[in-house]
Amino acid sequence: MTGPLLRLSAWRARRRARLGAKAKRTERPDSGIGAESPIRKASEDRLRRADFAGRIAGVLSELSLREGRVFAIRGGWGFGKSSLKNLITERLDAKSDGADWLDFNPWQWGDSDAIARALFGQIADRLGWEHSKAALARAEALRRYGAILTGAGAPLKEAGGVRHLISTVLTNASVIAIASAIGFDLPTAAKVAAVLALISVGTALLGRVLSYLGRDLGGEPLDKVREALEIRLRELDRPLVVFVDDIDRLEPEQIRMLLRQVKANANLPNIVFVLLFQPSIVEWALDPVADGDGRALLEKVVQASFDLPAVPLSVVHRIFGEELSELAGPYATEANGFSTTRWGNVFVGCIQPLLRNMRDTRRLISSIAVHMPLHAAGAVFEVNIVDFLLLETLRVFEPDLHEALFRERELVLQELHFQGYGRRDADKAAAERLLEIVQEERRVIARDALKELFPPLEWAFGGKNYADDFRTSWLAAKRVCSSHYFPRYFELQTAVGEMSESRFVAFLAATATEGELAVAIADVEADGLLPSLVARFDESVDRLPVENAAVLLPGMFGIAQKFTGLRDVNPFNSPWLSAWRATSWFLRRIPEGIRGDLALDALRQTKALSIAAILIHLNAPADQKESDTLDMWLDLSTVQKMKAEWLRLIRSRAANGDALIAEQDLMSLLYRWRDYAGSLEEPREWMLAAIRTDEGFANIATRMMSRGTSHSWGDRAPTPHNRFNRETINDFIGIDVAKGRCDAIDPAEFPEHEEALRVLHSSLDMWLGLRERAPFEF
């Protein structure tokens, strides 16, 4: 190939390589997830290292006809060594006389022998990439040289030794064939023997070829091979720079092997090695072969070092703030729990001290980017944004502590903490053990983080004691220290049966019109989320839009009425309790001038007798005990109007066949009827009409029976029990009348009500003295 063609071939090869490198650099950089990756080009350089990279590129591009050189780029993990390398290669490609370069990463090649072979193989490939005669000769010369140093011919030579094994197989196959010939039925073996016999003809020849190809190249004169290689390398018109990255990720033996190979080839003309590593790790790996002075040995290998310019912590923190703002800025709103003051305290006191370099920044940004979408829905963030960011910081830098927080829910939330709580000393010791999970130099940071995240536990670290009133504000702010939101931070999803924050926000928006609200309630009910909805009402009553009260209040009446039959499930925390409590507190927030009319209108629209009865009771002076502080938010006139409307509704329902019997809290309503009407006459008259037939009596018996559970000492599971209230039977039916009706009815004739009839019969006999009360009988 002529000189001009050689130059054209070299130019085309370099152009292809540079276009490939440019295309890789112009790929869209990772953002957020995977943000730990190094930068690829100068436009991404936020540490102003591009000029530094340019000066290094100039040094590396100088030809060295006598011998090569070994440089090092030194810096700790996360200080930006790979980013600087990418800036250097960009400058090399941009220079018309810039060096050719190869990026070699030994970490991906496995054991030491594989690393050595890959190093020589990739350098040879790069030297021969022009496909010219001279380039291919350089590549072949380097491969021969590398084969001697790495012993690459051994595997081929060993392959020639399989002749004996093949001969053994053929001998056994021949025996099988003979057995087949003298009468044994072994046709398959005969066929196998025939095939193997054909193969055996070429076995000796194949073994000799493999032995030749795998001859011990180490026997060739190394000086002669090296001299030929040096001649070829001096013909290069620009040096080849071999970047060897991630050395500090290798095993100690691999590090030693790699540096031996580099040292052995450090004086090859126009070959420049640039080693990237953290000095302390490489020096420690060299100590065993350097009489404990790995640094001195490393200095013999490396001719000059480029230490990464220091990155001020202020720059690290500024870049983190900029990237975080881009990622999480849309959620930094008051509705999502963000406040400038609290975020400043958290960032300066708990997050900033853990960000020591750019890798720390990338790791934390990456974790935030991964987990943030799991909490986000539109503009709504399911949890408190500040708590989320602080917990993510612990997840990244103190994962053991983060994991322990979920296990120690009872401790960090202090849900059982009350006046006279007897486990304060034990809790304080447990809190100190949490800090012991963290390295000693970080315990102050961890303590401050726990105080920020879990104010109920702050007292254990010498801080404040918070009253229970604060729990309401923590709940409203979606804090991790509230029992409702705590699981959401760790499970990363809304619990089954719980309404998400985004859906609750959408529900509140739907309270603007009756049609939208009706659709929203129907959808929530269809998904089985009504209990969660009323719990959200109860927890977040201050968020309910008062301006939509004319629409929302009737909706709350209707929803509450759906839970009247569930009031006995848990009297301290039931959907019914949450529903009426939230409704009463929402009424308090409505302006006094329209509050009464809206309450009366809601009763008329929904005919929700049970919730109306609760509200009347809470605002009727006659129903308040003398010791109670009167706190009534409906005026007396409204209460009287609601009572009158209530009586009208129940009388209408009583006159409509079985409509009143269908009420879930029938007996409670009958007593309210008595109270509002002033006597038992009307409800008793209705009852006597309802039990006129045996079927009617059986139906009422079922409605009057209450169901519950009880525990006895040592029981692990509750015992169900059913009972009747003697006063109720006497008030509305009469003990003697009920006894006569029970005696006249065969419970078996009414399978649906059989249990109620039998329990009622047994209770009547006990009340009349016809039998004794059984032990533990209710």
DSSP line for 88-155? HHHHHHHSTTPPEEEEE-GGGS-SHHHHHHHHHHHHHHHHTTT-SHHHHHHHHHHHHHHHHHHTTTHH
Q: CB burial class (10 A; 0-12, 13-18, 19+) of residue 421?
A: exposed
Q: Return d(Cα 180, Cα 380) in angstroms, integer.
A: 82
> Which pLDDT does position 626 carry in this prediction?
52
Q: Return d(Cα 638, Cα 644) in angstroms, integer.
A: 10
Mean pLDDT across 368-391:
93
- N-terminal to C-terminal alpha carbon distance within the chain: 109
Residue 200 in this model has a pLDDT that exceeds 60 = no
Please check whether residue 21 is in contact with residue 85, taking contact to mean a CB–CB distance below 8 angstroms: no
> Which pLDDT does position 772 carry in this prediction?
79
Please check whether residue 517 is in contact with residue 510, taking contact to mean a CB–CB distance below 8 angstroms: yes
Residue 768 in this model has a pLDDT that exceeds 70 = yes
> Which pLDDT does position 709 carry in this prediction?
61
Q: Return d(Cα 178, Cα 193) in angstroms, integer.
A: 10
> Which pLDDT does position 467 carry in this prediction?
84
Q: Return d(Cα 554, Cα 599) in angstroms, integer.
A: 8
Residue 129, token pair as written in the block: 């990439």
Q: Return d(Cα 280, Cα 101) in angstroms, integer.
A: 27
Mean pLDDT across 528-536:
92
* 3 state SS of 31: coil
> Which pLDDT does position 130 carry in this prediction?
57
Residue 6 in this model has a pLDDT that exceeds 50 = no
Contacts (Cβ under 8 Å, ≥6 apart) of 364: 320, 351, 354, 355, 392, 393, 396, 397
Residue 180 in this model has a pLDDT that exceeds 50 = no
Contacts (Cβ under 8 Å, ≥6 apart) of 691: 697, 700, 733, 741
Long-range CB pairs of 495-499, under 8 A, 24+ apart, other chains included:
497/528, 497/529, 497/531, 497/532, 498/529, 498/532, 499/524, 499/529, 499/532, 499/533, 499/536
Q: How confident is the model at residue 491 (pLDDT cuts 50, 70, 90)?
A: confident
Q: Return d(Cα 117, Cα 106) in angstroms, integer.
A: 10
Cα torsion angle, 513, 519, 522, 527, sign: negative
> Which DSSP letter does residue 347 get?
I
Residue 126 in this model has a pLDDT that exceeds 80 = no
Q: Return d(Cα 47, Cα 499) in angstroms, integer.
A: 45
> Which pLDDT does position 397 carry in this prediction?
95
Least confident range from 97-111, 213-227, 712-726: namely 213-227
Helix residue ranges, H only, 185-312: 187-213, 222-234, 252-264, 279-286, 294-301
Least confident range from 166-175, 397-406, 579-588, 647-656: namely 166-175
> Which DSSP letter does residue 494 get?
P
Please check whether residue 336 is in contact with residue 478, taking contact to mean a CB–CB distance below 8 angstroms: yes
Helix residue ranges, H only, 302-384: 313-328, 340-346, 358-371
Mean pLDDT across 50-57:
85
> Which pLDDT does position 390 carry in this prediction?
97
Q: Return d(Cα 223, Cα 201) in angstroms, integer.
A: 40
Of 374, 385, 409, 390, which is closest to residue 453 (Cα–Cα)? 390
* 3 state SS of 482: coil
Half-sphere exposure of 22 (CA within 13 A, CB side): 10
Give the position of tokens 């290689």. Answer: 229
Q: Return d(Cα 43, Cα 41) in angstroms, integer.
A: 6
Q: Return d(Cα 304, Cα 286) in angstroms, integer.
A: 18
> Which pLDDT does position 67 carry in this prediction?
75
Instruction: Please tell me which residue, 638 or 659, carries the higher pLDDT value.
Output: 638
> Which pLDDT does position 717 carry in this prediction?
55
Q: How confident is the model at residue 234 (pLDDT cuts 50, 70, 90)?
A: confident
Mean pLDDT across 415-442:
84
Helix axes 549-561, 575-589, angle to 10 degrees: 160
E strands in 498-592 = none
Residue 479 in this model has a pLDDT that exceeds 50 = yes
Q: How confident is the model at residue 186 (pLDDT cuts 50, 70, 90)?
A: very low
Q: Return d(Cα 565, Cα 581) in angstroms, integer.
A: 16
696, amino acid identity: G
Instruction: Please tell me which residue, 149 or 237, carries the higher pLDDT value.
Output: 237
Residue 32 in this model has a pLDDT that exceeds 70 = no
Mean pLDDT across 306-324:
86
Query: What value does the mean pLDDT of the chain take?
Result: 81
The string of pLDDT tens digits covering residues 446-470 is 999 999 999 999 999 998 888 888 8
Instruction: Please tell me which residue, 173 or 772, carries the higher pLDDT value.
Output: 772
Least confident range from 346-350, 356-360, 758-762: namely 356-360
Q: How confident is the model at residue 593 (pLDDT cuts 50, 70, 90)?
A: very high
> Which pLDDT does position 235 carry in this prediction?
81
Q: How confident is the model at residue 172 (pLDDT cuts 50, 70, 90)?
A: very low
Please check whether residue 155 is in contact with residue 217, taking contact to mean a CB–CB distance below 8 angstroms: no
Mean pLDDT across 370-399:
93
Q: What percent of the chain has pLDDT over 90?
A: 45
> Which pLDDT does position 300 carry in this prediction?
87
Half-sphere exposure of 673 (CA within 13 A, CB side): 25
